[in-house]
Amino acid sequence: MVLGPSGADTPVRVGVVGVGIMGYNHARVLTDLPGAELVGIADPSQSQREKVAALLGCAAFASLDELVERGVDAVVIAAPTHLHHDISLAAIAAGKHVLVEKPIAPSVAEAEAIVAAAKAKGVALMVGHVERFNPAVESVKAAIRGEEILSIGITRVGPFPPRMSNVGVVIDLAVHDIDLICHFTGSHITEVQPQVKAAVAEREDIALLQFRTANGVLAHINTNWLTPFKARTVHVATGKKYVIGDLLTRQVTEYFDYKPDGSYSMRHLPVAYAEPLRLELTRFLEAVRGAVPAVTGEDGVAAIATAMRCLESLETSSAVPAPLRARAAG
């Protein structure tokens, strides 16, 4: 909540820009989130914004400018990634706090420009890496807290999404897990060894990515759009235990107390029941009120920077179609 003229706490007035699948869900959660008031949505598609407005019973606008004129305190930006830079800068220039969906921008330079603008204007900037708020992720994080982390393995695979047209698996999927590796280790990625391929799609649809963090943790990500079913799993090995988290079923299992005869103990860890997006938006409201954002602009820059390093291998790979090499080079 923000401090109102009377000195009493008043709800944060929030608008959502871009109401595709993710934007609709942001708006849906905001309709009944304590401490928030959904002022309205904005989308250039008249049919889409009218459909969502009818479903949620909220006001609809054609542009960010019209939304800002209604007196919002904060803006959630869920437009296509290539629009994040311009919309974010416009919202920040208007003095609005911003939650921008992942990835923060399609390039490191644009991402850094958003961070710099928010700092200069003194507004909160948070990046929507929603997987951090998955209760299974929080359970894994709690299980390895204080442990010496040795390695992390993450699998995020599934069928090709028909909605996808402008990015490949590295930006769409792996960027989640690049951020999770940093989140789990409390460190940043220093070494990248990517294997990326466009097998059946125009853009990369297979990626096997290996990393080393600054604090020495080895990590890898296996992601693709070729698997007929979705799988989202995290494996973390520490000096004393092995933790497996299924991010879809939200089951987390811990293996420990290894014996010389090969036996060990195991237990299922508690996982809270909560909607990740609701938790994320709650933390955004806290940032608007002055708390440190749960996922900072710098976190978002680090994730896209590592993702782009993974795509650099496309520049010289003759096995990759020319449109992909051009996109990686640009």
Regarding whether 169 and 76 lie in a shared domain, the answer is no
Per the DSSP assignment, residues forming a β-bridge with 72 are none
Q: Are 14 and 36 in contact (CB under 8 A)?
A: yes
Instruction: Kindly report, residue by residue over 96-110, the tens digit of the pLDDT.
Output: 999 999 999 999 999
- Cα R_g (the chain), whole angstroms: 21
Sign, CA torsion 204/206/208/213: positive
Q: Are 84 and 100 in contact (CB under 8 A)?
A: yes
Regarding whether 69 and 10 lie in a shared domain, the answer is yes
Enclosing domain of residue 282: 2-131+278-295
**Over pLDDT 70: what percentage of the chain?**
91
- Is 300 contained in some domain? no
- Is 14 contained in some domain? yes
Regarding whether 318 and 176 lie in a shared domain, the answer is yes
How far is the CA of 311 from the CAs of 39, 189, 198, in angstroms? 39, 15, 12
Q: What is the pTM of this model?
A: 0.90
Regarding whether 253 and 138 lie in a shared domain, the answer is yes
Regarding whether 169 and 119 lie in a shared domain, the answer is no
Average pLDDT in the chain: 92
Regarding whether 119 and 21 lie in a shared domain, the answer is yes
Please tell me the total count of domains within the chain: 2
Lowest mean pLDDT among 2-6, 46-50, 93-97: 2-6
Instruction: Rounding to the nearest 10 degrees, give the CA dihedral for residues 187, 188, 190, 196.
Output: 120
Regarding whether 263 and 290 lie in a shared domain, the answer is no
Instruction: Kindly report, residue by residue over 189-223, the tens digit of the pLDDT.
Output: 999 999 999 998 888 999 999 999 999 999 999 99
Q: Are 223 and 195 in contact (CB under 8 A)?
A: no
Q: Are 231 and 156 in contact (CB under 8 A)?
A: yes
**Over pLDDT 90: what percentage of the chain?**
87
If pLDDT is split at 50, 70 and 90, which confidence band does 265 have? very high
Q: Are 321 and 202 in contact (CB under 8 A)?
A: yes
Return the CATH number at 148: 3.30.360.10
Regarding whether 154 and 123 lie in a shared domain, the answer is no
